[in-house]
Amino acid sequence: MPTLATGRVVIVGAGLGALYAALKLAPRPVLMISPEVLGQGASSAWAQGGVAAAMDPADSAEAHARDTLRAGAGTVDAHVARLVTEEARAHILDLTRLGTPFDRKPDGGYVMSREAAHSFARVVRVRGDQAGAEIMRALVAQVRETPSVQVLEGVMATGLRVEAGRVAGVEVTQAGPQGSAPVLIRAPAVLLAGGGSGGLYALTTNPPRIRGQVIGMAARAGAVIADAEFVQFHPTAIDCGEDPAPLATEALRGEGAHLVNRLGERFMLALHPDAELAPRDVVARAIYAQTQAGLRPALDTRTCLGDRILTEFPAVAGACARAGIDPTRSQIPVAAAAHYHMGGVAVDADGRASLPGLWVCGEASSTGLHGANRLASNGLLEALVYARRCALAIEAVLPEAQDAALVVLPDLAPAPVPDPVLVARLRQAMTAGAGVVRDAEGLSRCLREIAAIEAAQPDCPALLNMTATATLIAAAALMRRESRGAHCRSDFPQTDATPRRSRLTLSEALAIRARLEPETT
């Protein structure tokens, strides 16, 4: 394998966490690995709701932390919740300084939305549902102007090199449809900021490339993975046949939109005191149950928003237009879709993974903030807080920054890419066995199917990264014999009295998988 040495810190990913960390590391030389053109293909750009932060004088970081703890169903790390919510305001002000055009009131205050399980309107937004796209646009512009940051576009990471128990570099390939043989880039430190795992499911709101590869890469290198079983399903993906499914932001329900079924019933009223603004796991299970019963759930924005939806929520309006839906006259059909992975690479308060030389931030990490059910719009906030913390921790352990030459990849021969038929099988297996509602039989069947998919293309690292994460999710879900937050076991509907987080290595998950008896035919 060709090897390139660089004095640059390597950041895998190109979303909010990756960009923010690169800026916080400046002027230290950084190399960003981006599969697409910078700013494209990242979940951050698709985030509609915004960033949760106590910006109103009547609100407080303490109240934000309490809401985070309550939504997380008992497994949120209280220290992390306080740490993150206390830093939130500073990051909103920093993003404003960097050029993010947050919605503002005539007096200069921030316009904020209320989302599910928040006791206060504290989600800072941009043009209704454009927060992710506009924050990304501002940060991309800053990174493009930062001479210490080199971006390799059209390149994806497929593996970590571990030497003497320490991460020493990243293996990368061309990200195009033909793929390429790998190249090893040695680096003094590696930061993984490459997104979550939603695309492992057949119905997802995540960009096409977000399929657990970064978590899988770390797991294959030996990193500990925490809370892998906790996958959040967004209740209101627009059910229109697109892959990925467009999102109908929770802010619509914050504005007063109602969930109804084809019989005209507001089914959430009987299920939770907060009705449509109940925690996401509650609403997602209700949507799933309505779908399974053939009752065709939908979101009705006509009374609360009317024509305002066209200008105040342009992403939703655009998705509806593509599907031939006029939300000013018709209800929007919705379904529960894989949206956010609360689990990920276990990290400490500075973003350090269990493997020396490796840091992780954003959705690929598990910090303890989200517990079993992420509070709405805490995802972008966590990415900002831990991107900065990772940057400071990396800076503290490396020698003084030196100039570094640009990294130039050699010409490479084509190499196997994931078979799309196998990827489709994997996504179907995860939806069927490790979806909104799970049981032992379905999870066991899912794990056996993952093993068969691996065996069908064992020489493809990108596929093995996906199946590693899928194995961890299903194995952790099989081990957790209770229902908690986003993890719902129909065969274990109770919630244990003592909350606990899960920690699992890939070797442990594979051992669980290996113990399952093959299905008889």
Q: Which of 280, 285, 389, 513 is catalytic?
A: 280
Q: What is the DSSP letter of 487?
A: B
Using alpha carbons, list the distances in angstroms from residue 200 to 139, 144, 380, 423.
28, 31, 21, 8
| Residue 486 neighbours by CB under 8 Å, 6+ apart | 230, 231, 232, 233, 280, 281, 284, 342, 372, 373
Q: Determine the Cα–Cα distance for residues 64 and 47; give it in Å rounded to an integer.
A: 20
Closest CA to 370 of 193, 229, 199: 229
Q: What is the DSSP letter of 293?
A: T
- 3-state SS class at 163: strand
Q: Is 238 left (phi over 0), alpha (psi -120 to 50) or beta?
A: beta
Q: Pinpoint the alpha helices (H) of 401-482.
A: 420-433, 440-456, 461-479
Helix axes 78-97, 378-397, angle to 10 degrees: 90
- Give the helix/strand (H/E) hosting 38: none
Supply φ then ψ for residue 81, to 5 degrees: -60, -45
To the query of whether residue 280 is one of the catalytic residues in this protein, the response is yes
125 near 102, Cβ under 8 Å? Answer: yes
182 near 3, Cβ under 8 Å? Answer: no
Catalytic residues: 280
